[in-house]
Structure 1
Amino acid sequence: MAKYEIATIDGDGIGPEVCQSAITVLKEACGSGLLAFTGHDGGADHYVKSGHVLPDDTYAACKAADAILHGAAGMPGVTYPDGTEVGNDLHLRLRFRLDLYANVRPIRLYQGVDSPLKHFKPGQIDYVIVRENTEGLYASRGGGIVLRDEVATDTIVVTRKGIERVARFSFELARQRKGAPRDGKRRVTVCDKANILRTYAFFRSVCDDVAAAYPDVDIDYAYADAITVHMLKRPDFYDVIVAENMFGDIISDLGAATIGGMGLSASAELGDTHGLFQGAHGSAPDIAGQNAASPLATILSGALMLRWLGDKHADAALTDAAQRIELAVEQVLAKGDHVPRDLGGTASCTDMTQAVCRALSR
């Protein structure tokens, strides 16, 4: 019997292709007997068929599993009556019901990738954005008000508990890292708009309170508008960035653009007990079924899953497998024989999967 049960949801568009690709790589890295993958329904297409984006049995399986691996969800035109997208609701429901409060987005420039920031080389961009995942402006999801088709409101909500735990997560993460590429300092940057809104001033003050327990980690501050400039001009300054839900959502995609695009953007949504892992890109229905999608973001998300499970269960075999997957991806990109289409190459989803597996076998 496998040691760890992984619930998988292929989802929509390119989701099935990239999810199955990641499973293939994870099996290659871990061998037999360590992981068991069980597929479950969910997503926009399933909603069209059944009226349920997250069926009860899928949720129960995800809750019971050791981890969740997701492909992608969402299809154009599949919306609720209020106009919001059905597909996004899949991982949003899992996020809130399983209390996955820390969204972790590594931003790392790999060898062989052409960054639009021409002055920065591989290794000079290497930081993590931690996005508070269950509060902020997105807490209004489904609860906003539309009055007489004339006025619409959504409310931002932050709590001391919510800020404290994501701030503590960020400082602990900084302690585990080697520091910022520029100066080697372990640093947490608080991204907010504390100069304008009381909500963000409170967010910053609570982060300050948490920082007092981490004298070995520097605390830094950046307004949300200014950091969009700094992330382009001096990305090597950053180590860990922590932000409210919406700001974290926005700057994470900007960070991904600096390392080659969303096709390399891995994501982990973590709570104290559960973890959901998926590439941060969308379902890309325009290329679905064409074997054209890059699976690398989902493969790297699978590596994040192994690291999280390895830390949680003190299982060195998982941590080693995660390191080998990350190294294999970097070796494939650095060699340049297989380059996915989103990075300017012609390699198919299958080509990239096989190339990573070959690198693992070496």
Structure 2
Amino acid sequence: MTEYRIAVLPGDGIGPEITAVATAVLQQLTAAHGGISLDLRHQDAGAGRWLREGVAFTDEAYDACVRSDAILMGAIGLPEARHPDGREVNGDVIFRLRFDLDLYAGIRPVRSWPGLTSPLSAAPPVDYVVVRENVEGLYASRTGGCNVRDEVATDTIVITATGTRKVSEQAFRLAGKRGGRPRDGRRLVTCVDKANVLSSYAFFRQVFDQVAAEHPDIGADHVYVDAMTAYQVQQPDMFDVVVAENMFGDIISDLAAATVGGLGLAASGDIGDRHGLFQPAHGSAPTIAGKGVANPIATVLSAAMMLDWLADRHADPAAAEVARLIDDAVGDVLADGRVLTPDLGGTAGTAQVGEAIIAAAIRRR
């Protein structure tokens, strides 16, 4: 049996509630499987800690993340926890992990779920992955921008050949593992940019094309970001894997989630060559914290992504089997439709959804 050490950062707002569900799913289903075990080590990090102690992420907590095999995060941030310049302190945790561990690829899958009504009028099938460059782009200026007398503020976009190549290669690797886009099964990587206006995005596209030429068995395409938002609503079945600069990837991945039921279903993984951070794509939702109504599915699916990443990294079929079991169990619960949180039109509580997922997984075994 293989044991993995997992750093768990429950965070703020609904973070502890949804993390508790995800860790319960992990513990019960890995135990039921018997071929994998997890050593879950919780770390106190986030806006709550910053408000109490003046630091959101201690070096000790960061070091625990570095020493772990993977990191599972709930949600970080509170609107009142801000630095003097207006930035939320959640960046002290999320950006430190992304930038310091070089988690250059933000993997954000989106797909239609049986039993859920799509907000799209034509309801075409949706099944694609947004690969967001995570450590460059416009967000690289997060602490290096300029504000002169509160009259002029500037931020600088950063695009490097190395960063763009790495994230593009990750996108083509993902496309090689998938079954292609829903429309016709074609394996395709689409570069989303604004190359017709800005030289930085033209450079991003140039490097993407160089990587694409090295993968002749997988198609390559280009879409301007403004057109992308229309295609995501009108023709989402034309996409397989999408790669974009940091800010554009942030925006289009949230739109992608909205087309299939909302951010409560939006899992994500921030991965690099050695480390992986897995968290729901949504925020801490402090207005519903403590009410027991938050949707934990995005966190549960992120936990499944974590196991899948560990399986790939360590050639561990047991981890892959538990990941698929969780994924399938979530699908069963959503298709059944009786245990859904309010954001999906139901009346179930956070813990109830977790219990239903565990029960569905046990039935599958």
TM over 0.5: yes
Question: Amino acid of the residue matched to residue 107 of structure 1?
Answer: V
Q: Is the 8 A contact 1:43 1:90 kept in 2?
A: yes
Query: Which of 64, 67, 81 lines up with 2:67 in the alignment?
Result: 64
Is residue 89 from structure 1 mapped to residue 89 from structure 2 by the alignment?
no
Question: Amino acid of the residue matched to residue 6 of structure 1?
Answer: I
Mapped partners of 2:147, 2:291: distance in 1: 40
Equivalent runs, 1:132-281 vs 2, <5 Å: 132-281=133-282
Q: Is the 8 A contact 1:100 1:271 kept in 2?
A: yes
Q: Give the superposition deviation at 1:2.
A: 6.5
Q: Give the superposition deviation at 1:117.
A: 1.1
Query: Which of 110, 113, 116 lines up with 2:116 in the alignment?
Result: 113
Mapped partners of 1:237, 1:167: distance in 2: 19
Q: Give the superposition deviation at 1:114.
A: 1.4
Deviations 1:60-98 (A, max 9, x none): 000000000000011121100000111233111111111
Q: Is the 8 A contact 2:15 2:76 kept in 1?
A: yes
Query: Which of 40, 43, 52 lines up with 2:43 in the alignment?
Result: 40
Question: Amino acid of the residue matched to residue 265 of structure 1?
Answer: A
Q: Is the 8 A contact 2:78 2:284 kept in 1?
A: yes
Q: Is the 8 A contact 1:126 1:236 kept in 2?
A: yes
Q: Is the 8 A contact 2:338 2:346 kept in 1?
A: no
Is residue 285 from structure 1 mapped to residue 286 from structure 2 by the alignment?
yes
Deviations 1:267-316 (A, max 9, x none): 10000000000001110001111111010000000000000000000000
Query: Which of 74, 78, 86 lines up with 1:75 in the alignment?
Result: 78
Aligned to 1:29: 29
SS at match of 2:280: coil
Mapped partners of 1:48, 1:77: distance in 2: 9
Gaps of 5+ in 1: none
**TM-score w.r.t. structure 2 length?**
0.97
Deviations 1:314-343 (A, max 9, x none): 000000100010100000010111111111
Q: Is the 8 A contact 1:42 1:55 kept in 2?
A: yes
Gaps of 5+ in 2: none
SS at match of 1:196: coil
Equivalent runs, 1:258-337 vs 2, <5 Å: 258-337=259-338
Q: Is the 8 A contact 1:12 1:73 kept in 2?
A: yes
Mapped partners of 1:358, 1:199: distance in 2: 50
Mapped partners of 1:215, 1:28: distance in 2: 43
Aligned to 2:130: 129
Deviations 1:237-261 (A, max 9, x none): 1000000000000000000000100
Question: Amino acid of the residue matched to residue 18 of structure 1?
Answer: I
**TM-score w.r.t. structure 1 length?**
0.98
Question: Amino acid of the residue matched to residue 25 of structure 2?
Answer: V
Mapped partners of 1:186, 1:315: distance in 2: 26
The aligned length equals 360
SS at match of 2:71: strand
User: Among the aligned pairs, what percent are the same residue?
Assistant: 53
Question: Amino acid of the residue matched to residue 60 of structure 2?
Answer: D
Question: Amino acid of the residue matched to residue 117 of structure 1?
Answer: L
Q: Give the superposition deviation at 1:49.
A: 1.2
Question: Amino acid of the residue matched to residue 17 of structure 2?
Answer: E
Mapped partners of 1:88, 1:75: distance in 2: 11
Question: Amino acid of the residue matched to residue 80 of structure 1?
Answer: H
